[in-house]
Amino acid sequence: MQETDALRDARRDMEICNACRYCEGFCAVFPAMELRREFTSGDLAYLANLCHNCRGCYYACQYAPPHEWGVNVPQHLAQVRAESYAEYAWPPALARAFQRNGLVVSVVTAAAFALVVALTAGLNGAAFTTPQDRFYQIIPLWVMQAAGLVTFIFSLAAIGIGTWRFWRVAGTGRRPDAGALAVALHDVFTLRNLGGGGHGCNDNSERFSMLRRRLHHAMFYGFLLCFAATCAGFVYHVFLDWPAPYPFLSAPVLLGTIGGVSLMAGTFGLFAMKLLDDPGPAARELLGADVALLVLLFLAAATGLALLGLRGSSAMGPALAVHLGVILALFLLLPYSKMVHGAYRAAALLRAAIERHEPPLGAE
């Protein structure tokens, strides 16, 4: 990574913290920090993505603002995290465009895709606003499959390439053994580090709370359930020759309903928390990109549930077009949104697990 003010601030914080070590039991960042004496840009990118922004260190630190040293680990590591997303994103030009205004780009792109899909469906004439029994009578199956597969594969490829570029700089050359991989997967799927030192996060004060961890669980597992619903629908259609729409008690609808409600609850709750956050440890300039992702995820779940309720009505066509427009926008923007933090953080947790088993050379 190129040397920036955020990197310099984070390096200074880590050097002070490494001498103080008061917060060594707070989260995964400080044990990893203590294994090194110097902090390269790759080390700082790794530590920044290992940070889960629980903010416990900020409220415990005697050198935090208004102290003249101004140690602010959550804020400075958040800034380095954001720079790492842009630094390793592929292709870089799209990441820069998204950084300029995440919320506007997301909403405009979602609206544009919805309009394109609606116009395409409108070519079918009255079928677009006439009650139909099948989604494919409104928008042909091959159109939905082609648009969905192309954008989804592109998104996965872009995230994969970005994560690989991050790992080459911020990872470790050692291969993980089964134990390290198991520890990393446990930390990823339980979101253990969102518990801070075990008592929870300091969301907007010195008071500890597990609310942020629970909301992340709702969002994370809601997203996975929605994806499972899509996979179940694919199995029904391709292998069981059972085209959509499906009854409420079918696997795709049950998984999608539970996942959609969970995803909406998680994203709405996290959005509300951002409005109440203490601005002291926050990097407020990153709020637009954070909100853009929460809005897109919320709209994806909300329009999917609305489509479920409007099946068989004259509004099913417009609802289908809007939902597919949001999903296409989400797929395209995933590699250039905060969603990549899931992949980068998983890579950082894997490196931390490897180092627990075999500390780096020169570690104290």
Q: Establish if 282 belongs to a structural domain.
A: yes
* Residue 216, pLDDT score: 96
List Cβ neighbours of 207 (8 Å cut-off, separation of 6 or more): none
Q: Are residues 301 and 328 in the same domain?
A: yes
Q: Are residues 288 and 175 in the same domain?
A: yes
Which of 27, 61, 86 represents a domain boundary (last residue)?
86
Q: Establish if 107 belongs to a structural domain.
A: yes
Which of 29, 52, 86 represents a domain boundary (last residue)?
86
Q: Are residues 220 and 309 in the same domain?
A: yes
Q: Are residues 98 and 198 in the same domain?
A: yes
Q: Are residues 70 and 105 in the same domain?
A: no
* Residue 272, pLDDT score: 94
What CATH number is attached to the domain comprising 223? 1.20.950
Q: Are residues 289 and 164 in the same domain?
A: yes
* Residue 72 domain boundaries: 5-86
Q: Are residues 122 and 262 in the same domain?
A: yes
pLDDT in tens, 251-300: 999 999 999 999 999 999 999 998 888 889 998 888 888 888 898 899 99
Q: Are residues 275 and 176 in the same domain?
A: yes
Q: Are residues 209 and 180 in the same domain?
A: yes
* Residue 286, pLDDT score: 86
* Residue 212, pLDDT score: 93
Q: Establish if 359 belongs to a structural domain.
A: no
Q: Are residues 56 and 147 in the same domain?
A: no
Q: Which residues of the chain have pLDDT under 50?
A: none
* Residue 62, pLDDT score: 94
* Residue 361, pLDDT score: 55
Q: Are residues 69 and 149 in the same domain?
A: no
* Residue 99, pLDDT score: 65
Q: Are residues 264 and 164 in the same domain?
A: yes
3-state SS track over the chain: CCCCHHHHHHHHHHHHHHHHCCCCCCCCHHHHHCCCCCCCHHHHHHHHHHCCCCCHHHHHCCCCCCCCCCCCHHHHHHHHHHHHHHHHCCCHHHHHHHHHCHHHHHHHHHHHHHHHHHHHHHCCHHHHCCCCCCHHHCCCHHHHHHHHHHHHHHHHHHHHHHHHHHHHHHCCCCCCCHHHHHHHHHHHHHCHHHHCCCCCECCCCCCCECHHHHHHHHHHHHHHHHHHHHHHHHHHHHHCCCCCCCCCCCHHHHHHHHHHHHHHHHHHHHHHHHHHCCCCCCCHHHHHHHHHHHHHHHHHHHHHHHHHHCCCCCCHHHHHHHHHHHHHHHHHHHHHCHHHHHHHHHHHHHHHHHHHHCCCCCCC
Domain count, the chain: 2
